[in-house]
Amino acid sequence: MENPVRKETFLVPGYQQRTLREMFRHLIWRVIAPLPDKSYLKLKYWSIKGEWPDIDDPKTFCEKVQARKLYDRKPIYATLVDKAGVKPFVEEKLGPAYVTPSYWVGTDLATVDWSTVPLPAVVKPTHASAQGRFLYTQDDISRLLEDNPVPGWLALDHAHYNREWAYSQVKPQVLIEAMLVVDGGVPWDYRFFTFDGVVSHIEVNLRIDGKGYACHYTPDWQRLPFHDPDYLTPYPGEVPKPARFDEMMRIAQTIGKGFDFLRIDLYAADDWIKLGELTLYPGGGFERFDPPEYDCLLGDKWTLGFEIPKVG
């Protein structure tokens, strides 16, 4: 794995590309922002995927994500999407070895006792994705305090932007935690898609020579031939199965059991496995599957654990 290129800010690659098409989409989303949730989601879905979703009788995976956002209101979801609050949940399920150590949680960086924060570390919002900073040195801490991105982070609102209900139940805070490192670099991200604890497939996000890639594997580690053209470039090679893959599978099955759908993100080295985050709404339910039949195939595996109100 590559040595890290030091960067103060990290963003989810792929979704950050601001092409003319993306700029036009964002303009549309601002215009439709005042609409009620269901109307907003249908229009946003159409603007990205080029088709209208059937939210009242969902069949594809992405349609079912939209239905979950509108109709699934389980209180536990607030814990699952809170990057700080989920840690006690994971520790109770699996034990402390699988939880990344936290150093501070709060809303005002002026209250941090930096003598208690070993470097390298990561600082990020607890209630949002694709935002944060890597802290390698005291200079990085000084720049963080000078720039102070916290007010902007605290203002992020997934509950409004993608109408993801669970985030409306989370208190916006900032988390400082240990940075995970594998072979001197940022570890690869293994995303286990589970349906009531049954692993459907694993999405792998990786970086090679500074470039991000993605690919998908079955539980018996056979490459799957689909990708999201709005996200990362498909990895042209084969990814080796992680050394502790069987243990990773058991973790995903244990955490996912009892949830009709849950994505469990894991990081792993030869001598440890850590949970990254739990995801209820991958890609906001707007992912463009290529080939598109995989949206249907994945949707077939999801038996909804909530009721959809009958129309009319």
Cα 73 to its chain centre, rounded Å, is 19
Look up residue 185 and give its DSSP letter: B
Q: Is the pLDDT of residue 11 over 70?
A: no
Q: Which CATH class is domain 20-300?
A: alpha beta
Question: Tokens representing 150?
Answer: 């916290």
Q: Where are the domains of the chain?
A: 20-300
Rg (CA), the chain: 19
What is the pLDDT at residue 277?
Answer: 95
Q: Cα–Cα distance between 82 and 300 in angstroms, integer?
A: 28
- Report in angstroms the alpha-carbon separations of 133 from 29, 101, 149, 168, 281: 27, 16, 9, 24, 23
| pTM summary value | 0.92
Model confidence at 19, pLDDT cuts 50, 70, 90, reads: confident
Q: Which residues pair with 265 in a beta bridge?
A: 191, 277
Q: Return phi, psi of residue 167, to 5°.
A: -70, -20
210 pLDDT exceeds 70?
Answer: yes
pLDDT above 80: residue 49: yes
Share above pLDDT 90 across residues of the chain, in percent, rounded to a whole number: 86
Give the pLDDT score at 6. Answer: 42
17: pLDDT strictly greater than 70: no
| 40 Cβ contact partners less than 8 Å away, ≥ 6 residues apart | 32, 33, 163
Reported as a single tens digit per residue, the pLDDT across 104-114 is 999 999 999 99
pLDDT at residue 213 greater than cutoff 90: yes
User: Which is nearest to 231 in space by CA: 248, 216, 212?
Assistant: 212
- Report the chain's mean pLDDT, rounded to a whole number: 93
201-217 mean pLDDT: 95
> What average pLDDT does the segment 164-178 reach?
97
Across the beta sheet with 102-106, the strand order is: 102-106, 174-178, 121-125, 133-135
